Structure 1
Amino acid sequence: MKISELARRADVTTKAVRYYESLGLITPGRLANGYRDYDEDDVRLVREIRALHRLGIPVERTRPFLECLAAGSAYADDCPASLATYREAVDELTERIEALTARRTTLIANLNAAARRGSAVVPPAAHGDGEDYLTLPADLPTPEDDGAADHLAGTAMPALTLLDTAGRAIRLDALGPRRTVVYVYPLTGRPGTDLPEGWNSIPGARGCTPETCGFRDHFQDLLEAGAGRVYGLSSQDCGYQNEVVERLGLPFDMLSDPALGLAGNLGLPTFEADGMRLFKRLTLVVRDGVIEHVFYPVFPPNAHAEQVLSWLRENPLRGGAATAHSD
Structure 2
Amino acid sequence: MTISELARRAEVTVKAVRYYESLGLITPERLPNGYRTYTEDDVRLIREIRTLHGLGIPVERTRPFLECLAAGREYADDCPASLASYRAAIDELTERIEALTARRATLITSLNAAAHRGSTAVPPERTGTGGENHLTLPAGLPVPEDDGTADRLPGTRVPPLTLLTTAGKEVRLEALGPGRTVLYIYPLTGRPGTDLPEGWNSIPGARGCTAETCGFRDHFQELLEAGAGRVHGLSSQDTEYQREVVERLGLPFDMLSDPELRLADTLGLPTFEAGGARLFTRLTLVVRDGVIEHAFHPVFPPDAHAEQVLTWLRENPV
Normalised-by-shorter TM-score class:
0.5 to 0.7
Q: Does the C-alpha gap of structure 1 residues 288 and 102 become closer, same or farther in structure 2, counting only changes over 3 Å?
A: closer
Match for 1:121 among 121, 124, 137? 124
2:154–2:295 Cα contact (<8 Å) kept: yes
Q: Does the C-alpha gap of structure 1 residues 17 and 289 become closer, same or farther in structure 2, counting only changes over 3 Å?
A: same
Which residue does 1:245 correspond to in 2?
246
How far the C-alpha of 1:237 sits from its partner, in A, is: 1.1
- Partner AA of 1:239 in structure 2: E
Which residue does 1:110 correspond to in 2?
107
How many angstroms apart in 1 are the aligned matches of 2:92 and 2:153? 39
How many angstroms apart in 2 are the aligned matches of 1:97 and 1:274? 41
Which residue does 2:141 correspond to in 1?
140
Which residue does 2:85 correspond to in 1?
none
Q: Does the C-alpha gap of structure 1 residues 61 and 278 become closer, same or farther in structure 2, counting only changes over 3 Å?
A: closer
2:161–2:172 Cα contact (<8 Å) kept: yes
Q: Does the C-alpha gap of structure 1 residues 58 and 158 become closer, same or farther in structure 2, counting only changes over 3 Å?
A: same
Which residue does 2:189 correspond to in 1?
188
Q: Per-residue displacement from partner, 1:201-222 (whole Å, max 9, x unpaired)?
A: 1111111110011111111111
2:98–2:229 Cα contact (<8 Å) kept: no
- Partner AA of 2:227 in structure 1: G
- Find the residue that maps to 1:149 and give its secondary structure: helix
1:116–1:249 Cα contact (<8 Å) kept: no
TM-score, normalised by the number of residues in structure 1 = 0.66
How many angstroms apart in 2 are the aligned matches of 1:132 and 1:22? 66
Q: How does 1:21-36 map to 2 (within 5 A)?
A: none
Which residue does 1:204 correspond to in 2?
205
How far the C-alpha of 1:21 sits from its partner, in A, is: 8.1
- Partner AA of 1:213 in structure 2: C
Q: How does 1:1-327 map to 2 (within 5 A)?
A: 58=60, 105-114=102-111, 117=114, 121-124=124-127, 127-128=129-130, 130-317=131-318
- Partner AA of 1:244 in structure 2: V
- Find the residue that maps to 2:151 and give its secondary structure: coil
- Partner AA of 2:124 in structure 1: V
How many angstroms apart in 1 are the aligned matches of 2:93 and 2:290? 28
The CA RMSD measured in Å over matched residues stands at 4.4
Percent of aligned pairs sharing the same letter: 67
How far the C-alpha of 1:102 sits from its partner, in A, is: 6.6
- Partner AA of 2:110 in structure 1: A
How many angstroms apart in 2 are the aligned matches of 1:236 and 1:210? 17
How far the C-alpha of 1:264 sits from its partner, in A, is: 0.9
- Unpaired stretches in structure 2, ≥5 consecutive residues: 1-13, 32-36, 38-44, 50-55, 65-87, 117-122
Aligned length: 271
1:156–1:291 Cα contact (<8 Å) kept: yes
Q: Per-residue displacement from partner, 1:2-43 (whole Å, max 9, x unpaired)?
A: xxxxxxxxxxxxx99999987789899x9xxxxx9xxxxxxx
How far the C-alpha of 1:163 sits from its partner, in A, is: 0.8
How many angstroms apart in 2 are the aligned matches of 1:257 and 1:298? 20
TM-score, normalised by the number of residues in structure 2 = 0.68
- Partner AA of 1:249 in structure 2: G
How many angstroms apart in 2 are the aligned matches of 1:102 and 1:164? 20
1:118–1:249 Cα contact (<8 Å) kept: no
How many angstroms apart in 2 are the aligned matches of 1:60 and 1:254? 36
TM superposition outliers: structure 1 runs of 4+ over 6 Å: 15-28, 54-57, 59-62, 94-104
- Find the residue that maps to 1:291 and give its secondary structure: strand
How many angstroms apart in 1 are the aligned matches of 2:223 and 2:214? 13
Q: Does the C-alpha gap of structure 1 residues 181 and 265 become closer, same or farther in structure 2, counting only changes over 3 Å?
A: same
Q: Which of the two has higher C-alpha Rg?
A: 1
